[in-house]
Structures are given as C-alpha cells and as structure tokens.
Amino acid sequence: MRISTSAADTMEGYNFAYLDEHTKRMIRRAILKAIAIPGYQVPFGSREMPLPYGWGTGGIQVTAAIIGPDDVLKVIDQGSDDTTNAVNIRRFFARTTGVKTTERTGEATIIQTRHRIPETPLRDGQIIVYQVPIPEMLRWLEPREAETRKMHALGEYGAMHVKLYEDIAHHGHIAATYDYPVIVNERYLMRPSPIPKFDNPKMHMNPALQLFGAGREKRIYAVPPYTAVRSLDFEDHPFETQRWEHACELCGATDSFLDEVIMDDRGKRMFVCSDSDYCLARREKQQPAVA
Amino acid sequence: MMTETPLLEIQNLGYRYGQRAACVDISFDLFPGEVLAVVGESGSGKTTLLRCISGQLRPDTGQVLFQTRASETVDVWAISESARRWLTRTDWGFVHQNPRDGLRADVSAGANIGERLMAIGARHYGNIREEATAWMNKVELDTARIDESPSAFSGGMQQRLQIARNLVSRPRLVFMDEPTAGLDVSVQARLLDLLRGLACDLGLAAVIVTHDLAVARLLAHRTLVMNAGRVVEAGLTDQVLDDPQHPYTQLLVSSALPA
Amino acid sequence: MKNIIEINNLSKYFILHTQGGVNIPVLEAVSLAASGGECVAIVGSSGAGKSTLLKCLYANYRAQAGSVRVRHRDGWVDMARAHPREILDVRRHTMGYVSQFLRAIPRVPAIDIVMAPLLATGTEPDKARVMAQALFERLNIAPRLWHLPPATFSGGEQQRINIARAFAPQPAVLLLDEPTAALDEANRNAVVELVREALRRGALLVGIFHDHAVRSAVATRIFQLRPAGVPL
C-alpha cells in the first residue's frame, strides 16, 4: 500500500510551508551556520507551531525553511511512514506547500525523521531532517547551560566517557542502545537524537546533508555531507551496533533494524523491519506486480 | 635543595568584594612537597585567597605563578581559560569541605575516581577500573563497593573518595578547603593521618585552609595566619602556634582547645 | 674539636598581647659554644629559661636578638633568622629534639613514628625497620606495642618512643628536655647508654636533666642559666 498526495488539497490563506518568509530566512541563517560548524548547536528563534512540543516542531521548522515547490517529501516516525506523527506532518506539508510526498526513500529530496535513518542508503543532494527532543548531550553531566557551552567551546568531552563507564560497570557492556553520543568532524560532541545506535554508522561520511532541529530547546545543528561521525567508546569496549538472531519475517532482510511486534494477547511475537519502505520494496521485488 | 624554584608563587594578591577588601597584598611561596596551612576565623579572607590561587576567582591585583610538570612557569591568570582548566584537572586537585561539592552523586565511586583519567584522555575501561580500585585501596575504601553510589557512603568515606578522585591524576598541588570540618573527631584523625601519609609518599604540595589549629599542627610545615584579609603572621607551624608574635595569633592560639 | 653550635647574645622575651602587652623576659644575652662529643647539661632554677633555650635552638621559639648558629651541610645556619625550609632541613638532617611529651599523629603505629625520620632522610624501609626495632629492644618497648599507636601508652612508654624517634637518625645535635623524667631506673640506664654512644660517635648533646644521677653520668659540661633580669 502506497500513499501519496498532490497539490489538489492545498490550503488557502497560509504562506508556503506555513512559516512567513522572514522566519524562514532566520532559520536558514541558523542552518547555514550549523553547516559551517558541524555538530555545533546554533540557537534560533523557534516559533509556535500548530503542533505540541514533542511532536517534531523543531524538525518541522527546519523542513519548512528549506522546502521548495519542486521538493519531494518523505516523513517517517520510528522508520514507518504510516504512524500518526508521520502522517500528520506529511499532510501538514502537503496542505501548506502542495509539494509531492512519497514513501520511497530513493524518490525523496527531503526526509523528515523521528528515531530512524532509512535503511536504503542516502545519496548526494538529499537532506535528512531529524526531530530532536533534547539537543544537549552534556546535560546529564552538567546542569548549567553556561558551563556546557564552555565545555563545548574548549572541547572538554573526556568526562562524557563517565556515562559509558557506568554502563560497563553496571551491565558489563555499553548498554546505551539509542541517542548514543558521537563526535562530529573530530570536534563537537553531538547528540544524534533518539535514533538507535544501529543507525550511528550511517551518519558517518553520509552523502546527504543531515539537519537537526529542536523546537522546544530552540537549537539547530547539522552534519554536512561526507563528514566524519565517530561514536564514543573504549579501546577494550569498542562501539558495536545491535544484532538480531532473526531475519525480518516479512521480507527476510538480515541487515535491517528489526521491531518486535506483539501479535495477539497470548504474546505471539514477530520480528519485522522497522523501515516499512525498505521492507515493502524488498517484498515488491520478490513478488513483482501483484497489483 | 635550598635553591629549588617554588611550585607556587603568590605575589601581592588582592581581592575586593565591592568596598570590602577580602585579601590585601598577600605574597608567599610554596615549594614542592610542602604543606601550607592558612588559618583564621570565618571572614578572614582565607577561602577567598584559596579560590584566587586555585583558578576559581580572578584576583583584582597581583600574580599567581605556578610551575607546571613540564617545568614551565605559568601566570595562572594570564594563560587561556582552557589551559587553566586543564591545570585544574591535571597538576592540581581541589578537596571541598562538603564532599557533595566535589563528587558526582549520580555515578558510582569507581566512575568518580576514573573521571579525571577519562577527562585527560584515558580510553581503556580495564585500566581505568584498575586505577580506581588501586586508589580506593590507598584511601582505605572497600573496593567491593566500587560500583556503589557515593550517597551510600558515610561522610568520612565520601571525603576519602573525594581525595582519591583528586589524586588519581597525580597532581603536584592540592588545595583543600576545611577538609575535616564536617567530620566526627575520630574520623577526622583517620583522614588527617591519611592525608599526611599521602602527602609524604607522593611528595604532594598542599594549601589547606582551616580554622582548626590542630589540623595545621598535624599536617602543615608552615602556617599563614590571616586576619581581616591580611597575613598577620607566617612561619614554621610549630613556631607560629607555640610562640605566636602577633596579637591576633596569640588570641587565636589562646582561644583554641589544646591541640 | 670544631664547634657545632654557637649561640651569641641570645635574648628572648614574650610579649603577651592578650594580657595588656606585658613583657616577660626569659633569656638575656646568652652565649654558648659547643662542639661534637660534648654533652652540655643546662642547669638553673625553675623559670631560668632552660626549656626556652632548647626551643630557641630548635627554632621552635623565635629569638628577639642575637644568633643561634648551627653547623649544617658544610655551613652555618642561624636558626634565629633562617627561612622555614632551611630550619626544616636542619631538623631533618642535623638536629633531633626529645620533648617532654610525645606529640604524634593519632592512629600511627609506634614503629612508623620511629621509622619516619629515617625514611625522610632516605633510609631504605627494611633497614629503617631493623634500626627502629633495635632501639625498641634497647629501650624495653614490648613487641606487642610496636604496631600500636602510642596514644594509649603509659607516660614512660610514650617518652621512650619519643627518645627512639630522636635517636634513630643519629643526628649531629640532639636536644633533650628531661628525657628520663618518666622513666624507671632500668630505662634511665638504657637512655644513659644511648647518650654515651651518641657522644662516642661525635654528636653534640644539649640537655636538661633533673635527675642528678643521669646528669652526672652523661654531662661533660654544666651550663648555668640565671633568670633574665637577675644580676649575677
């Protein structure tokens, strides 16, 4: 099942992509600065959006600032195109811009995401926009904003390993599975937003531009194309991604991030790709042209 | 050995809070391995002095010169903030009166000790843990409790943990602000003995701010007496305590319980 | 023999600011020179300043006038003027002091107290331990006490720990403030033996000995002190 919208149901009375042009320019300036200083959190004047905080207002503002009439938009939440959050945001942009939307990673020029990076490798010219709840990785270590900024300015990140040390001390391995800290371009410590650490290696040297927006916290940051992104670790406890003993029970993929789905009240479970587009595309390839 | 260069040189240091002078024209030297006590009542300016010389509070006047482990003399308030903060994690330690100010309450004892090592680049978990265990031993903490939170420790244990957390980077100079003030007398004695042994074994230099003359007598080679922001008397600790010259020191010594 | 200490016109008074600035003179123009192999017994009535003189020698008290020179590292150090670090160096390498009461850190075992000055001057720990134990045996300190902190010891036991600590590093100058006051006869004799041995190796001892028998057994010279302000 594929959903797509067209300009047919565009709303009247709103500027293109909802935000006014001055606001978009302000956000684009913040984005340009963020691209110039990979991993650095640029403050911006976050606006009230017609969605509550926590629903991706940061990502929406970034997308609104960069989207043009020729763009093709894909929106995913937890890898899926058809969850409430993804559907809402996609419809929001379809109605306020009239741009074409898609579920196919390869067709999209802009992908707004919450919690995942698509399995299909991104390519030159694509932009991925992450929704970020809390951008400051050092917050747990140091509650004072003035002090965390100083730590970023001086590159004082050594103590970040304390968090990983605690994981190993208590669990025997680094137990953090998502929101796993990275160093961008060997300079700034960055919070990758709550993507699984499975996706961390995809950020490294990615051909696509990666933009991060935090609406409530009023921060934008970026990883430009082909930029080094290194996950923190210890020499004797190197960074590792999750692995599954199962293959996807729908498409048979062994290289994708799997969700465990409870099937009924008796606890029957199945493992399926979290990236619904990837899974569907594989199945379509296996049984061509059912439609 | 008498021609050795000082580790720390304080020259004409002054600090004011508005109209009130907290430190006036203070100068002294500290040599490697030397323990110096700064005694005086609350409000005498001793804690302000400690903060000025330990890189926490920029003095209005004067200089703080420190000889780094690379044998390079730096003006603590003229170097970059980054270099100054590096000093505080490597060559220096700071033991707070209240261990809660000097410890991370939400991570384990081992992580508290290991933090400095990680902050200066240690990236081998096994080595960090080994070092943390060794330091727990040195400060007489039960190594079986390495993964416990400091909040599960008694006051004396927290203070020893704070000391281990500071000494793990092998600082050459440790600043201490009333390190024994919040502790029971018997716990104090144990801590003092530990500090003395560590200072001796590691060749540590220390500046200890205390209002307790017994602490000065047990730990310090030399003592400075502060009153109303000025150093009114300085010398060998036993000289200052047994043969005080300045009226204020005489008052201080005669008011103290026998030490 | 060469002089090891030279005291010239030493004056010491105390001004008690807490008591209206009253001036208490204790030593007035005291001079004394002594060389290695001597045991100088300071005598004088109570209040004549015998302990004060020892404390000025050790630089525990500051002199108001005059000089207190001690031969140290091929030179002279004026204990009345020297920098604290120099004074500590003299105490570490040249001069020992047996006070009337043991002042030690709580919790530190007796053997560690006696080993400390040896370790401070670079003696190997094993050798220092053997030396400390030998002194304990000579001073009849029961082995069960060696590894206990002296806080709970009797007065006599504490005094002997004090003596062992001062004698262990074999300093060139030893100051003794009533070293045998709390001791029984057997232990007094042990101390007398230690003093004689120190004299034989060429040390200078300056002491206050209230016990006549001890004094006559060890003193090679009597130095009479009179209370300051009292005419000869």
Phi-psi region of A274 (alpha: psi -120 to 50; beta: other; left: phi over 0): alpha
Q: Distance from B248 to chain C by nearest Cα, in Å?
A: 8
CATH number at residue C82: 3.40.50.300
The residue of chain B with its CA nearest to that of A168 is B125
- Percent of the residues in chain B that have a pLDDT greater than 90, as a whole number: 79
Query: B46-69, pLDDT tens digit by residue?
Result: 999 999 999 999 999 999 999 998
Residue B258 has pLDDT above 80, yes or no: no
Helix (H, G, I), strand (E, B) or coil at C110: helix
Q: Distance from B244 to chain C by nearest Cα, in Å?
A: 9
Residue C232 has pLDDT above 70, yes or no: no
Residue C229 domain-assigned? no
For residues B49 and B15, what is the distance between their CA atoms, to the nearest angstrom? 8
Q: Residue range A21-43: average pLDDT?
A: 98
Which residues in chain B are contacts of C14 at CB distance < 8 A? 243
Among candidates A159, A169, A235 on the partner chain, residue whose Cβ is nearest the Cβ of B123:
A235
pLDDT for the residue B93: 95
Residue C131 domain-assigned? yes
Residue that wins the pLDDT comparison between A119 and C21: A119
Query: C57-93, pLDDT tens digit by residue?
Result: 999 999 999 999 999 998 999 999 999 999 999 999 9
Instruction: Tell me if chain B has a CB within 8 Å of the CB of C152.
Output: no
pLDDT for the residue A1: 46
- Alpha-carbon torsion (A77, A81, A85, A89), positive or negative: positive
Residue C7 domain-assigned? yes
| pTM, to two decimals | 0.89
Which residue range is the domain that position C114 belongs to? 3-224
Residue C215 domain-assigned? yes
How many domains would you assign to chain C?
1
Which residues in chain C are contacts of B243 at CB distance < 8 A? 14, 55, 60-62
Task: Report angle CA A273, A274, A275 to the nearest 5 degrees.
Answer: 90
Residue B162 has pLDDT above 70, yes or no: yes
Residue B15's H or E segment, with its range, is: strand B8-17
Residue C102 has pLDDT above 90, yes or no: no
Residue C45 domain-assigned? yes
Q: Distance from C226 to chain B by nearest Cα, in Å?
A: 21
Residue at A94: amino acid letter: A
Strand A127-131 to A209-214 pairing: parallel
Whether A156 and B128 lie within 8 Å, measured CB to CB? no
Average pLDDT across chain B, whole number: 92
Residue A130 and residue A211 in contact, taking contact as beta carbons nearer than 8 Å: yes
User: Which pLDDT band, with edges at 50, 70 and 90, does B3 fall under?
Assistant: low
Q: Residue range B118-127: average pLDDT?
A: 95
Give, in order, the Cα–Cα distances in Å from A247 to each of A94, A243, A257, B225. 35, 10, 10, 75
Residue A26 has pLDDT above 60, yes or no: yes
Q: Residue range B19-34: average pLDDT?
A: 94
pLDDT for the residue B2: 52
Q: Which of B115, B125, B130, B133 is the mutation pick for testing A, counting most A CBs within 10 A?
A: B125
DSSP notation for C128-147 = HHHHHHHHHHHTT--HHHHT
Residue C231 domain-assigned? no
Residue A76 and residue A85 in contact, taking contact as beta carbons nearer than 8 Å: no
Q: Distance from B217 to chain C by nearest Cα, in Å?
A: 10
User: Which pLDDT band, with edges at 50, 70 and 90, does A291 fall under?
Assistant: very low
Residue C7 has pLDDT above 90, yes or no: yes
Q: Residue range A236-261: average pLDDT?
A: 93
DSSP annotation of C178 reads S
The residue of chain B with its CA nearest to that of C104 is B218
For residues B130 and C95, what is the distance between their CA atoms, to the nearest angstrom? 43
pLDDT for the residue A131: 97
Strand B222-227 to B35-39 pairing: parallel
The residue of chain B with its CA nearest to that of A141 is B104
Whether A158 and B124 lie within 8 Å, measured CB to CB? no
Residue C232 domain-assigned? no
Whether B236 and C59 lie within 8 Å, measured CB to CB? yes
- Alpha-carbon torsion (B28, B29, B30, B35), positive or negative: negative
For residues B86 and B179, what is the distance between their CA atoms, to the nearest angstrom? 23
Which residues in chain B are contacts of A168 at CB distance < 8 A? 125
Query: C116-165, pLDDT tens digit by residue?
Result: 999 988 899 999 999 999 999 999 999 999 999 998 899 899 999 999 99
Residue C81 domain-assigned? yes
Residue A137 has pLDDT above 60, yes or no: yes
Instruction: Tell me if chain A has a CB within 8 Å of the CB of B111.
Output: yes
Residue A85 has pLDDT above 70, yes or no: yes
Instruction: Tell me if chain A has a CB within 8 Å of the CB of B129.
Output: yes
Q: Other C-beta atoms within 10 Å of C6: how many?
A: 17
